Amino acid sequence: MTKILLIGFLFSVLSRGVAPVAVFSPVFLDDQIVFATIVATDPPYNADPTGQVDATAAINQAMLDVQRKGGGTCFLPAGFYRCEGGLVLRGKVTLQGEWQPPVPGEALRGTVLMAYPGRGDPDGDPFMRGPSSGHAHLKSMAIWYPEQTTDPIVPYPYTIELGVAHVRQITLVNSYRGIHMSVNSGSVVSDIYGTVLEMGIWTQNCGEFARLHKVRFSPDYWCTMQLPGEEPPVGAENVLLAM
């Protein structure tokens, strides 16, 4: 990954007064450049990308600080981020990671959020909640529930609940309930992949210009995906196809 700190004129144009801006050429995003207002793995946030330490507070604080700076991008480099609590998305803030379309039978790569809250409580708080007004953007990452099983399938709340938002390039590895869009006017949901166990995408209050594009759900993703420390769930394909 290439990282360059911008100064002088380029800094003033791109950051709109936010210092400094980091420029990344992500490994898993071909022909894309990320202009990051804050990198959540950098000090003082130090979000752990190994999956060993809870990164919830670090990611939430990084997003809040981006909003306080007037908006921009909070960048999560490739890695596994353990989240024992929920994440609060912010208006005018993009939470962006590194992503590539998942391929059944291959390893999960890029930025992966390991979601632990909400087990057994499908009507509880979503794992990721955005504002009911003011655009929040979520882009380029996977979300995986390490404690999910197939015998029995465990209920969880929605993985993502947003108002007006853009949600792009997301892998829902094994969400029980995927995405809930409560205000869909002007929202864009695109390039969504994965295995969902009860509900994929629920939209309401739909208005003009809302978009659902390139949504691909299949049992094959979770059933065959190579995940760290986890064998593909035995018999999962038969269970999921029978649902």
Confidence check: pLDDT of 7 > 50: no
pTM: 0.87
Compute the average pLDDT of residues 91-101: 93
Compute the average pLDDT of residues 236-242: 55
Interacting residues of 30 by C-beta distance below 8 A, sequence separation 6+: none
- Alpha-carbon gap, residue 146 to 71, rounded angstroms: 32
Compute the average pLDDT of residues 150-178: 92
Compute the average pLDDT of residues 11-29: 55
pLDDT value, residue 206 = 66
Confidence check: pLDDT of 227 > 60: yes
How does residue 131 score in pLDDT terms, banded at 50, 70 and 90?
confident
- Alpha-carbon gap, residue 140 to 63, rounded angstroms: 16
Interacting residues of 68 by C-beta distance below 8 A, sequence separation 6+: none
pLDDT in tens, 181-192: 876 566 788 999
Confidence check: pLDDT of 95 > 90: yes
pLDDT value, residue 18 = 46
Confidence check: pLDDT of 30 > 90: no
What is the CATH architecture assignment of 38-241?
3 Solenoid (2.160)
Confidence check: pLDDT of 179 > 90: yes
- Decide: 164 and 134 in contact? Cβ < 8 Å: yes
- Decide: 73 and 97 in contact? Cβ < 8 Å: no
Task: Sketch the domain layout of the chain as residue ranges.
Answer: 38-241
- Alpha-carbon gap, residue 166 to 73, rounded angstroms: 13
* Structure token pair of residue 8: 């002088």
Confidence check: pLDDT of 19 > 50: no
